[in-house]
Amino acid sequence: MNSVTNDKVIQLSHGGGGKEMNRLIKDIFFNAFDNAILQNEEDAAVLHFDGNIAFTTDSFTVAPIFFAGGDIGKLAVAGTVNDLAMMGAEPQYLSCSVIIEEGFEIEKLKTIVASMARELKKSNTRIVCGDTKVVPKGCADGLFINTSGVGRILKPKISVKNLEAGDCIIVSRDIGRHGAAILMAREGLALESELSSDCANLWPIVEQLIAANVDIHAMRDATRGGLSAVLNEWAKASNVCIEVKEEAVPVSDEVKGLCELYGFEPFDLANEGTFIVAVPDDNAEKALSVMQQFCHCQSASIIGQVTADKVTADSNNAKENSQQGKVILHTPWGSARYLDVPQGELLPRIC
Amino acid sequence: MNSVTNDKVIQLSHGGGGKEMNRLIKDIFFNAFDNAILQNEEDAAVLHFDGNIAFTTDSFTVAPIFFAGGDIGKLAVAGTVNDLAMMGAEPQYLSCSVIIEEGFEIEKLKTIVASMARELKKSNTRIVCGDTKVVPKGCADGLFINTSGVGRILKPKISVKNLEAGDCIIVSRDIGRHGAAILMAREGLALESELSSDCANLWPIVEQLIAANVDIHAMRDATRGGLSAVLNEWAKASNVCIEVKEEAVPVSDEVKGLCELYGFEPFDLANEGTFIVAVPDDNAEKALSVMQQFCHCQSASIIGQVTADKVTADSNNAKENSQQGKVILHTPWGSARYLDVPQGELLPRIC
């Protein structure tokens, strides 16, 4: 049986369920994701759990598939690992399902799969099941990847509904880099600066926050919709007001520049390795010191605070206090405005 | 806030992570898949397990998305439910991740999501997490769906490696219907007959096989690659010979006709609600009687037997006995040939 490496591009037969597909899966995916569970070749992986687990899914359609700071493979692993991590769950097992366009270069596929394998190692995560589909030329744009993930919850009760008045809002690093990097790649901009995506596996940081016993109320990576989407979701779900100081939010000069050029707000731009955490006031310094140990998070900052009390379900105060469920941005000039959920097209195929 | 039902087609903003996406998710997906875990709106669903679970994934790219006997939504639920069922696992929780092409009709999306909801009910399965991506027109062909699933294993040790000499091979119904139905839809054939896909949720049947305490050695739905792919995988993984009587394999006249017309083998055609099970000889009648209670499985049949002993790893007999790892098909005319793994393009985008 020939090795798939003799082929240069993906053909329809690589998705047919026969010999060619078996070769592709063994030569490329099994080789890179090598582990005993995956090699079992059953229809499903058998895993053991005792207790609560987190389960999540994400499809990745980013264009271009290679960008400064990452590629679709790194993103597909980091994205799902981060969704688990944000729930206080150890990212133990992932699935990997690919939809490949006929004619896609096998060398590119190998590069992407190798990138996935590298990213998996950072959180000791294993891909234990998968699926490969090939669609005719023109029916997909290159390559789409779905990863779903499961892992045991080490820190329970992290929830969008758990914010309390007095909680500090911390952002792990400067915001907007992923959105800006994709925009740059797409527009063919060659800035003098070295702007790259923040795409990263957040589990190592979260693991340390849990180990340090930080009392995490809410935690979320600020992906599509950026910081604005996360804070608004929190404010609504917990029925609180979140007040943010604009000048406390770290934004790189490169991202600021691109935002001015294209009329974006850094708060709305996607991130892929930047998270927001809400902790009680007396836990904030501890959380910051843990985060700042990681080289990408040296600019971790307290950017605001939760200021309105929760309102009980049977209270009539909710409507009277119009700040609840809102996010207020205090500008450097002393004025304040609502930071709203982003609207409109933003950047399609950002992740 | 307007309802998404005011929009007629999917727009890029429906995947942007902002207001429009939130509306789409709530109006269409949450509405249809209504359950407490999904409504939690966390990054991941929180589930409880004690013991072994099965975890599986599949992406669905079938074309056309509507076909006789089903659509991509029914297929996406049944396919992943069946992968869990085939491992003896109760299909408890699914994820649902969609990639939608800009311009896709919202009415069609609703029809597909309603079809998923109907199929979920048949096995009491819940969709507990999801993801929505929109790609620009021309970057995908309509709609792709990924479903991943988890569920507790009720019947352990079902495995491709567990076939033993003397095991009976049973097929649950007539083969090749899904492949034939897709072929028919694609070629615009209007046969007088009512050929439709076998697309179905297999958990109700598997649940009864487990309840009846049938000693299941191996079980697999014969999807891409058909009966040939499954039997060859089993023969190799268990290092046994499987002998099949061609005339014992149920094939409908419509499927036979299409195969003759297009030069396909029914054994290679995909199924989406047909499974093969290997049980000890003295369990075969019990298994058959359970299966035949279900109206689609009245033609369930014993099609063959495992005939060669397993060879231990340190034995040198493996190479001497060239039948091990092979599938032999006995024709009605008394001759015999190897039934090989399918090769070539077969039918692209069959599932």
* B249, B301 Cβ separation under 8 angstroms: yes
Kindly report the nearest CA distance between residue B68 and chain A, in angstroms.
21
Nearest chain A residue to B52 by CA distance is A48
Q: What share of chain B is helix, strand, coil (3-state, %, to 5)?
A: 35, 25, 40
Residue A6 has what pLDDT? 66
Pairwise CA distance, residues A202 & A216, whole Å: 15
Q: What is the DSSP letter of A9?
A: B
Out of B220, B270, B343, closest to residue A20 by CB: B343
Q: With b meaning 16 or more CB within 10 Å and e meaning fewer, what string describes A27-59?
A: bbbbebbeeebbebebbbbbbebeebbbbbbbb
Q: B341: which 2 tokens?
A: 């793994």
- Residue corresponding to tokens 């993103």: A75
Written as one string, the DSSP assignment of A150-179 is: EEEBSSTT--TT---TTPEEEESS-S-HHH
The pairing of beta strand B45-60 with beta strand B143-152? antiparallel
Pairwise CA distance, residues B40 & B128, whole Å: 9
Supply φ then ψ for residue B126, to 5 degrees.
Answer: -120, 140
Residue B3 has what pLDDT? 60
* A250, A299 Cβ separation under 8 angstroms: yes
Residue B1 has what pLDDT? 45
Residue A1 has what pLDDT? 45
Please report which residue ranges of chain A form alpha helices under DSSP H. 19-24, 31-32, 36-39, 72-85, 106-121, 177-187, 203-211, 226-238, 253-262, 284-292, 317-320
Q: B98: which 2 tokens?
A: 């969609």
Q: A171: which 2 tokens?
A: 């952002």
What CATH number does domain B168-338 carry, 3.40.640.10, 3.90.650.10, 3.40.50.300, 2.30.22.10? 3.90.650.10
Residue B191 has what pLDDT? 61
* pLDDT tens over chain B, length 351 residues: 456 656 899 999 999 888 999 999 999 999 999 999 998 878 899 999 999 999 999 999 999 999 999 999 999 999 999 999 999 999 999 999 999 999 999 999 999 999 999 999 999 999 999 999 999 999 999 999 999 999 999 999 999 999 999 999 999 999 999 999 999 888 877 665 679 999 999 999 999 999 999 999 999 999 999 999 999 999 999 999 999 999 999 999 999 999 999 999 999 999 999 999 999 999 999 999 999 999 999 999 999 999 975 555 555 554 555 789 999 999 999 999 999 998 887 788 999
Subunit contact A17:B342, Cβ cutoff 8 A: yes
Sequence-ordered list of residues with C-beta below 8 angstroms from that of A102, at least 6 positions apart, any chain: A9, A10, A11, A12, A134, A135, A136, A137, A139, B348
Select the residue from A57, A101, A125, A162 to test the B interface by mutation, using most B Cβ atoms within 10 A.
A57
Q: How far is CA B296 from CA A145, B48, B172, B173, B205, in A?
A: 35, 34, 8, 7, 10
Supply φ then ψ for residue A35, to 5 degrees.
Answer: -160, 160
Residue B2 has what pLDDT? 52
Q: How far is CA B202 from CA B20, B91, B126, B231, in A?
A: 36, 10, 16, 19
* pLDDT tens over chain A, length 351 residues: 456 656 899 999 999 888 999 999 999 999 999 999 998 878 899 999 999 999 999 999 999 999 999 999 999 999 999 999 999 999 999 999 999 999 999 999 999 999 999 999 999 999 999 999 999 999 999 999 999 999 999 999 999 999 999 999 999 999 999 999 999 888 877 665 679 999 999 999 999 999 999 999 999 999 999 999 999 999 999 999 999 999 999 999 999 999 999 999 999 999 999 999 999 999 999 999 999 999 999 999 999 999 975 555 555 554 555 789 999 999 999 999 999 998 887 788 999
Q: How far is CA A180 from CA A187, A230, A259, in A?
A: 10, 18, 8
B50 interaction partners in chain A (CB closer than 8 Å): 49-51
Q: How many residues are present in chain B? A: 351
Supply φ then ψ for residue B63, to 5 degrees.
Answer: -135, 130
Pairwise CA distance, residues B124 & B183, whole Å: 31
Pairwise CA distance, residues A311 & A238, whole Å: 9
Pairwise CA distance, residues B101 & B117, whole Å: 22
Sequence-ordered list of residues with C-beta below 8 angstroms from that of B316, at least 6 positions apart, any chain: none
- Residue corresponding to tokens 């609560």: A52
* A95, B97 Cβ separation under 8 angstroms: no
Q: With b meaning 16 or more CB within 10 Å and e meaning fewer, what string describes B48-87?
A: ebeebbbbbbbbbbbbebebbbbbbbbbbbbbbbbbbbbb
Pairwise CA distance, residues A146 & A97, whole Å: 5
Does domain A4-152 fall under CATH 3.30.1330.10? My reply is yes
User: Which 3-state string (H, E, C) describes A94-149?
Assistant: EEEEEEEECCCEHHHHHHHHHHHHHHHHCCCCEEEEEEEEEECCCCECCEEEEEEE
* Residue among A128, A171, A178 at smallest CA distance from A148: A128
A16 interaction partners in chain B (CB closer than 8 Å): 224-225, 342, 344-348
Select the residue from B23, B42, B343 to test the A interface by mutation, using most A Cβ atoms within 10 A.
B42
Pairwise CA distance, residues B209 & B288, whole Å: 9
Supply φ then ψ for residue A247, to 5 degrees.
Answer: -70, -15
Select the residue from A11, A48, A59 to test the B interface by mutation, using most B Cβ atoms within 10 A.
A59
Supply φ then ψ for residue B94, to 5 degrees.
Answer: -125, 155
Nearest chain B residue to A13 by CA distance is B345
Per-domain residue ranges for chain B? 4-152, 168-338
Residue B5 has what pLDDT? 54
Give bridge partners of residue A218 from the DSSP assignment. A278
* A12, A140 Cβ separation under 8 angstroms: no
Pairwise CA distance, residues B74 & B202, whole Å: 12
Residue B47 has what pLDDT? 97
Out of B49, B98, B102, closest to residue A49 by CB: B49
Kindly report the nearest CA distance between residue A15 and chain B, in angstroms.
7
- Residue corresponding to tokens 């592709």: A24
